[in-house]
Structure 1
């Protein structure tokens, strides 16, 4: 049969598509992925005292200078020095590229505002190039101080060489040291009982300083950098779409939200990435925080963001994982989010509002079904394990009722995608399969065919399928960008720091 002389194509069933792995890569503080916020570049400084004001906290002062394109801090007496280099961001990564250190002292970062005693300092203590401890020091608004060790994985032979990374995560942090190979975890903390850096007042008023405390010695530094980074792992990969669920292709690129991994559930950050679907050129474009108008900027993740062409604004649904930072007072729930400004680039904040879907519910995917004149959300709810359900409403941000599910199989990374002319529901699982269901009634269709899936015999398999159908003109019709569930080594306690990225092309 034909229509206007054009042969009609049979409807493809998604379980018949063959996905072939093309590439894999793990991003670990990749320098080419860093969005710079501030820093100290010694080779470009003219007027050190103006560009980077210096505060000496003890009666004796260290000598701070630029020599051979390096920032040098030197003292023969006990000194404590703060060197300003930028504002403050509660989800930024702060790094110090060390050239050398001699003597005894400490180095790290100090965050504080003007006209207040409140100050948070993260520092590594050293003695003749050996790390003795990693410490957190906090002074509250009344001048009361607390100091504690945050060290993990330190041995008496750990040398202070290479680059220090401080990954700030709103209510917690991880401290890394990179000399050779992967950065190694040397410190971590949940500091929310002391100070909640998610409060807007800290974003507005705090500033960042290089901290150097010396008993006697010298430190030389090549660079200090504050930036938004891709962290040590990426997960919860979701294509940004239009309101009808079709992929948002802009500038020849697909756009994705991904969770930039920190450590545990309240410590991840919502990142925005782009990729030309014909190649493997993942690029960090921005970071989104969420504002519930309660004075906090929340690092929610597992979001689905879409552009509503009718209302000409950005909307979406996110998962309120930040509740785990204060779980005795808050409940995990889905949140409706929106923004007039394009949130894909740089540092963005979207308004967030609860809409009645409270509990252990996550991984939402929303679209407007114009044939039914209904908004529908595919998500998963923990009912003896996470199981996919479909909810619908007359409104995008309220009044949802369940119309299908839960399915029998464990579900994760639930998503809706058009294959041919029909919508289907996809989910990962703990069963070493990616399941496919009909839309919207969640009847079983089959499983996704992949060579080299993003797991092996021992690793977790609850991945996000993230299948996208491409328009004509590409050498393949389907693309899938997935992650594995292999955690970053060295974390103490709860650890959700997976994973690496895996690119697949799909062929009929």
Structure 2
């Protein structure tokens, strides 16, 4: 999924062909210079000037630093700028992304950050040689909590143009700021110029890649089959770290109809909505609460203080699987920069078991246990000797096993909970070859009778989005496997 239109979850939009009362629905806001004319013509919004330069802004909607924003530009005549901007309604702070045109031809993408009325960042990205310079074009602004990706979409192709960060200037994950900011259509036109706009929108999207696929379960680790669908957490990719965020997806396990369902952010009580990821969520029947564990990657994006990545316990009374959700979070108390938590309640042992990719030189699988799901964990086994990723506890038949991907071009199987060697996963056409990365997530899911296979595995590859600067983790395509023991 690469910003699939069919998968967008809408937040706000300016749709010219549906506007009745432009100045009521999308009023002029903020500072203006000169006089700009706006009219709906042939189902498009036309913004124009006379013999004088002019700039203006129109309100489109609220602001979400985890959303994607798009401007569908149909045509530009003359010279100037047209784009989207995000403004603090109480302070003179804003960010903007604009298409720069000269004599009717697109020349560059411009990114500007203003703080306390002073310009603190201005970056201009040259127009790609293989992207049209006139006619219909789409500017896509993928907000990533602490940074942004800027794309141009034309003729069915989405191309990355720029990728600035802004968190050294503005901390837009702060809840108070999110409520103050608004999303605007901005124009700055020279004399006798005009721009025709097809649409402006904001939406939650599946991003430019998905990874870290994990089934949502009950407290015993059994997959949650709700409405005939398995529910999955996946990392929605944006660039490197800390740019991704936690997505939720679903799929009918009898077919291959993956559906983007929502975004989850996490609240640790410090005023920020955090973009953690690589989560395992479960529904706890006894408390009627949604719980789980996640990896605190957002610490890497905090400039105001020194934070360290940690494993977090997360919970929510509201079902977080659809739309935009906020889950509470706190550290579980396991020291170390570990990743990929997966946990179960073992009723026979009367313990919570938590499997991690532990930072022990390289990342290696280790098993921990506690009397409580959210604290008090002590080491039980491991870490193992080999590189480990996507650590998973899963039942095959009546017995639990541990699975994990590896840089060794294998998926290893270990005993539960001792982590003794059992073997390797037999895979037909694994999601790698001799030229690609192999540290994938096994994500094996058992299914009840009546499905085409008693086990499926939904995995991703590690192919990165074209043109993304290194280091980046934007993979990947998704692969569905059936297993018949």
Match of 2:149 in 1: 174
Q: CA RMSD in A?
A: 1.6
Q: In 2 relative to 1, CA 150–254 (structure 1 residues): closer, same or farther, beyond 3 Å?
A: farther
Structure 2 Cα separation of the partners of residues 296 and 107 of structure 1: 31
Aligned match for 2:202, one of 211, 215, 226 = 226
TM-score (normalizing by structure 1): 0.92
Report the Cα offset of residue 71 of structure 1: 0.9
In the alignment, is the contact (CA less than 8 A) between 2:33 and 2:55 conserved in 1? no
What aligned pairs does 1:84-123 form with structure 2 within 5 A after superposition?
84-123=59-98
1:137 — aligned with what?
112
Q: What are the within-5 Å matches in structure 2 for residues 382-393 of structure 1?
A: 382-393=359-370
Distance in 2, matches of 1:313 and 1:333, equals 22
1:375-454 matches, within 5 Å, as: 375-454=352-431
Give the secondary-structure state (helix, strand or coil) at the position aligned to 1:330: coil
Change beyond 3 A, Cα 1:373–1:150:
farther
In the alignment, what sits opposite 1:243? 219
Pairing of 1:40-439 with structure 2 (within 5 A): 40-55=14-29, 57-76=31-50, 77-140=52-115, 142-149=116-123, 151=125, 154-155=128-129, 159=133, 161-216=136-191, 217-326=193-302, 329-439=306-416
Shift of 1:150: 5.3
Per the TM alignment, residue 96 of structure 1 is displaced from its structure 2 partner at its CA by 1.3
- In the other structure, the counterpart of 2:461 is 484
- Asked if 1:34 is matched to 2:8, the reply is yes
Structure-1 separation of matches of 2:61 and 2:388: 43
Structure with larger RCO (C-alpha < 8 A, sep 6+): 1
Q: Counterparts of 1:251 and 1:317 in 2: how far apart (Å)?
A: 24
CA-to-aligned-CA distance 1:177-227 (integer Å, 9 cap, x gap)? 011243101111110011011000122111100111112421111111110
The count of residues paired between Structure 1 and Structure 2 equals 481
Gaps of 5+ in 1: 1-26
**3-state secondary structure, aligned to 2:467:** coil
Residue 360 of structure 1 and its aligned partner are, at CA, apart by 2.3
- CA offsets, 1:364-422, max 9 Å, x none? 00111110011111111122321100011111111111111111221100111111001
Partners of 1:333 and 1:260 lie apart in 2 by 20
CA 494–377 in structure 1, closer or farther in 2 if over 3 Å, else same: same
CA–CA separation in structure 1 for the residues paired with 2:417 and 2:355: 9
**Of residues 434, 452, 455 in structure 2, which corresponds to 1:475?**
452
Q: CA deviation at 1:158?
A: 6.0
Counterparts of 2:62 and 2:106, CA distance in 1: 28
Verify the 8 A CA contact 1:484 1:500 in the aligned structure 2: yes
User: Gaps spanning 5+ residues in structure 2: where?
Assistant: none
> In 2, distance between residues paired with 1:80 and 1:129?
17
Shift in Å at residue 122 of structure 1?
A: 1.9
Moved more, 328-337 or 224-233: 328-337
Structure 1 pair 129/266, CA: closer, same or farther in 2 (3 Å)? farther
